[in-house]
Amino acid sequence: GAGVSQSPSNKVTEKGKDVELRCDPISGHTALYWYRQSLGQGLEFLIYFQGNSAPDKSGLPSDRFSAERTGGSVSTLTIQRTQQEDSAVYLCASRVSGGAGETQYFGPGTRLLVL
Amino acid sequence: AQKITQTQPGMFVQEKEAVTLDCTYDTSDQSYGLFWYKQPSSGEMIFLIYQGSYDEQNATEGRYSLNFQKARKSANLVISASQLGDSAMYFCAMSPRSNDYKLSFGAGTTVTVRA
């Protein structure tokens, strides 16, 4: 079946602009995660969704970052007033809920470059 | 909080030989999952293998096996019969068996397979 998809695959923006990153999880996966991968910080957790709720937003680096999920499916990560330090690869992952579904499956990522 | 340590930044291995990638972890959780992911130059995170903390047997998936030593808190990945396509970055990760299952990652090991 189809895996996790993300769009756009690459995004170049100017400092101060807003960007939206999209994630389409594997069908039936109720848990969805956003991670960020940057040279200096490695792979960091950003936010977790269970259904449309986000019980863990602890990894969002500032209030410029927000995310939502609608219909228990597609999620959008929004970065407002982008800064150069936001340049990174943003990875989305999804997982089946329940004890047998611990493994997270990742999308191809969105490479964000802020000029 | 979880901490994952991968002490080998880069490794070279000859085609058809086996290679062991080291991973140690630190956690106060009693129940957790351990994962290895492969990230080729294309950037996608590919799930390789999973080990639950209460699994008595070491996990195996084709040419991948996980050498799990719970008392030593290590979860080394063994790749047998290396192939040129195994050249990639490899990440060790863990998640607590709690409501969110969010992943903590090590810094990664770059493997280069030589012909």
Give the model confidence (pLDDT) of B7-25 as tens digits.
999 999 999 999 999 999 9
Task: Using a CB–CB cutoff of 8 Å, tell me whether A89 touches chain B.
Answer: yes
How confident is the model over B76-92, as pLDDT tens digits? Answer: 999 999 999 999 999 99
Percentage above 70 pLDDT, chain A: 96
At residue B84, the 3 state secondary structure works out as helix
Alpha carbon of A89: minimum distance to chain B alpha carbons (Å): 9
User: Would the CB atoms of A102 and B104 count as touching at under 8 Å?
Assistant: no
How confident is the model over A82-91, as pLDDT tens digits? Answer: 999 999 999 9
How confident is the model over A19-63, as pLDDT tens digits? Answer: 999 999 999 899 999 999 998 788 999 999 999 999 999 999 999
DSSP state of B9: S
A55 chain-B contacts, CB cut-off 8 A: 99-100
Where do the DSSP E strands lie in B1-115?
A: 3-5, 10-14, 19-21, 24-26, 32-39, 46-52, 60-61, 64-69, 74-79, 88-96, 104-105, 109-114
Please tell me the distance from the alpha carbon of residue B91 to that of residue B109, in angstroms, as a whole number. Answer: 7
> Which of B44, B48, B50, B109 to mutate to test binding with chain A, by most A CBs within 10 Å of its CB?
B44
Q: What is the pLDDT of residue A99?
A: 56
B52 chain-A contacts, CB cut-off 8 A: 102
State the distance between the two ends of chain B, measured CA to CA, in whole angstroms.
41
Q: What is the pLDDT of residue B2?
A: 85
Q: What is the CA radius of gyration of chain A?
A: 13
User: Would the CB atoms of A42 and B107 count as touching at under 8 Å?
Assistant: yes
What does pLDDT average to over chain A?
A: 93
For residue B66, is pLDDT > 60?
A: yes
Phi/psi at A39 (nearest 5 deg)?
-60, -40
Task: Using a CB–CB cutoff of 8 Å, tell me whether A95 touches chain B.
Answer: yes
B105 chain-A contacts, CB cut-off 8 A: 42-43
Q: What is the pLDDT of residue B83?
A: 97
